[in-house]
Chain A
Amino acid sequence: MNDATTSTTVDVCPAEELPPGAQRIVEVGGRKIGVFNADGHLYAIEDRCSHDDGPLAEGLFDPERKTVECPRHGSLFDLETGRPKTLPAYLPVETFSVRVEDGVIKLEVR
């Protein structure tokens, strides 16, 4: 079996606990992942800035532009692609599939 294709689905929280504009961090198997609700669209990215490996998902979330700003040095990350839109980060961070199923937000972690 190829490990890269193995994924685990975890429950994040009931959908009503993450309303539009909200963000939260969940821990899955020792990894921290940020989950964001931008006007009803859900996004998930790893909670690690690719610039200096500091925390990312607790940063300023802009639901309109679908970005989160690294709280340490200000790199702006696109939540859809995980790519930085501004320096000093230049490498993308990992993104994850996230959906609502039976009223619960489900996160798929590879």
Chain B
Amino acid sequence: MATPQVTAVPDLSGIKDGYEYGFHDSEKDYVFKAKKGLSREVVEEISTYKDEPQWMRDFRLKALEHFEARPMPIWSGGHMDVIDFQNIHYFVRASEKQGRTWDEVPDDIKNTFDKLGIPEAERKYLAGVGAQYESEVVYHQIREDLEKQGVIFKDMDTGLREHEDLVREYFSTVIPANDNKLAALNSAVWSGGSFVYVPPGVHVEMPLQAYFRINTENMGQFERTLIIADEGSFVHYIEGCTAPTYTTDSLHSAVVEIVCKPGSRVRYTTIQNWSHNVYNLVTKRAIAHEQATMEWIDGNLGSKLTMKYPSIYLLGPEAHGEVLSIAFAGKGQHQDAGGKAVHVAPKTTSTITSKSISKDGGRSSYRGLLEIAPGATEAKSKVVCDALLLDEHSRSDTYPTIRIGEDNVDVGHEATVSKIGEEQLFYLRSRGLSEEEASGMIVGGFIEPFTRELPMEYAVEMNRLIELQMEGSIG
């Protein structure tokens, strides 16, 4: 049996305080690693390697043309311009086959997921797990009883192979390939991600979890996720992610499409904890039909730059959407997060709650859209953005856009920017807390609307990660 080779990166100081997932594994047993750079040949190589149908190959190549034809978005303020798209590995396959049990996963990769606590979490409280390592999913499992009820939870590549008609019906209908430059890139080189289908009336009571791990330096991970919740169904999908700490940059650019059919409810929870050398540029969008509910619970702790605005298009009457987003920007980080709600039908409702914390010169931004289309009568929406600045070197910006095309609506927007108050600190310190403990408690209270929405185990983990981020923040 091969000896697991896990190389610890000894010095993380100056890159990120207390980032505990910065180790990387050996690549000696990798099956395939595409050379760096993006070209038609690389896209064709990926498609050939996956033995895809012709329509998907054509889709990829057309998407590449869109990517090459488009400029970087002007609104990004030049932050994305530094990405060298020719210095990235677009497809890396670490394992020959996907495991149905963890014993079938190569030792060093299993060891990594053990360290991340995934198999243990699966045993305790998950209905299914997909574990993506580099470009492909190395482990996938769903509880047998759910499979018997018709629930499909596969990696996207398997989903395409085994459920081609269903995939083709919905794939890229929520986010077309030329929706934006990064969606075009994902469409050209996508690999991995999840395909979820929940049949009418089926409630998946325990969460499905996907975990994304980058290991290679200068890696590009481009997973593609499609979730279809049929009428009256419910599913909670949770994703987490980490990567080794390198001195050069990696890119994660996912596309997530969600279809909530009438009366269904989907909750999509993200705990993003990439290392500080990862550009995280993600397009997430959902459509909610009549009386459906879509909830994005979006936590951003890691990465160098995150640009992500989960969106909900409320297409059917009485559909409801929620975006609850938190972002923590530490030294060298820029968290550009937010959410979008587009009300198309009457009596649709939405709330967007965004909370950000900036420290050690970190920068957080709220970027959001609330749109009420003509005809969306009696629509109601509330947008709240709160920013907490922990020192004078840090920064917070808000870019809200509100477009209202209907008279009979109820819309509210609140925004606050605050610092940890001397009085709050004094009060807590008078109760025996150190300044660091007091600050941590205030921050914990600030993000409590987020953590209370997480399953308990994730809330505990989230609080622990925040504590790690807060370490050394005083003095």
Question: What per-residue 1/0 map shows which CB atoms of B156-200 lie under 8 Å from chain A?
Answer: 000000000000000011111111100000000000000000000
Nearest CB in chain A to that of B344: its residue = A90
Interface size on A, residues (CB 8 A): 13
Binds B, one of A12-20, A33-41, A68-76, A97-105: A68-76
CB pair A74 B178 closer than 8 Å: yes
Taking CB as reference atom, which chain A residue is nearest B180?
A73
Please report the C-alpha to C-alpha distance between residue A91 and residue B372 in the assembled complex, in whole angstroms.
12
CB–CB A87/B373 < 8 A: no
Q: Is the CB of B342 within 8 A of A86?
A: no
Q: Is B304 an interface residue (CB 8 A)?
A: no
Name the B residues within 8 Å of A76 (CB-CB): 173, 176
Most chain B beta-carbon contacts within 10 A, residue among A73, A85, A87: A87
Contact of A85 among B173, B342, B344, B374 (CB under 8 A): B173
B359 lies within 8 A of chain A by Cβ: no
Tell me if B285 is interfacial: C-beta within 8 Å of chain A. yes
Give the complex CA separation of A71 and B342 in angstroms. Answer: 22
Compute how far the CA of A76 lies from the CA of B177 in the bound complex, rounded to whole angstroms.
11
Instruction: Report A45-100 residues with CB < 8 Å from chain B CB.
Output: 69, 71-76, 85-88, 90-91
Q: Are A86 and B178 in contact (CB under 8 A)?
A: no
Q: Is the interface of B mostly helix, strand, loop or mixed?
A: loop
Q: Give Cα distance in the complex from A71 to B178, angstroms.
A: 8
**Interface set, chain B 85-144, CB cutoff 8 A to A:** none
A74 to B66, CA, bound (A): 10
Task: Indicate with 1 or 0, residue by residue over B380-411, a CB within 8 angstroms of chain A CB atoms.
Answer: 00000000000000000000000000000000
Instruction: Please give the distance in Å from B296's CB to the nearest CB on chain A.
Output: 16
Closest-CB distance, A24 to chain B (whole angstroms): 23
Q: In B38-74, which residues have CB < 8 Å from any A CB?
A: 66
A87 partner, pick from B66, B175, B177, B374, beta carbons under 8 A: B175
A-B contacts at CB below 8 angstroms, number: 39
Query: In the complex the two chains form, is B373's CB within 8 Å of A74's CB?
Result: no
**Interface presence of B294 (CB below 8 A):** no
What are the residues of chain A within 8 A of B180 when measuring CB–CB? 73
B287 proximal to A (CB < 8 A): yes
Q: What are the residues of chain A within 8 A of B173 when measuring CB–CB?
A: 76, 85-87
Q: Quote the shortest CB–CB distance from A91 to chain B (angstroms).
A: 6
Partner of A73 from the list B174, B176, B287, B342 (CB cut-off 8 Å) is B176
Q: How far is the CB of B471 from chain A (nearest CB, A)?
A: 42
CB distance from A12 to the nearest CB of B (A): 29
Task: Provide the residues of chain B in CB contact with A86, threshold 8 Å.
Answer: 172-174, 176
B315 part of interface (Cβ distance < 8 Å): yes
* Closest Cβ–Cβ distance, residue B331 to chain A (whole Å): 36
A74 contacts across to B, CB distance below 8 A: 66, 172, 176-179
CB-based nearest B residue for A69 = B176
Type the 1/0 row for B258-286, where 1 means its CB is closer than 8 Å to any CB of A: 00000000000000000000000000010
- Check B285–A87 contact: CB distance below 8 A: yes
Chain B positions within 8 Å of A, measured between CB atoms, are: 66, 172-180, 285, 287, 313, 315, 342, 344, 373-374
New A-B pairs, 18, CB < 8 Å, besides A71-B178, A87-B175, A87-B179: A73-B179, A73-B180, A74-B172, A74-B177, A74-B178, A74-B179, A75-B176, A76-B176, A86-B172, A86-B173, A86-B176, A87-B174, A87-B176, A87-B285, A87-B287, A90-B315, A90-B342, A91-B344
Question: A residues within 8 Å of B by Cβ?
Answer: 69, 71-76, 85-88, 90-91
Q: What are some 30 contacts across the A-B interface (CB < 8 A)?
A: A69-B176, A71-B178, A72-B178, A73-B176, A73-B178, A73-B179, A74-B66, A74-B176, A74-B179, A75-B176, A76-B173, A76-B176, A85-B173, A86-B172, A86-B173, A86-B174, A86-B176, A87-B173, A87-B174, A87-B176, A87-B179, A87-B285, A87-B287, A88-B176, A88-B179, A90-B313, A90-B315, A90-B342, A91-B344, A91-B374
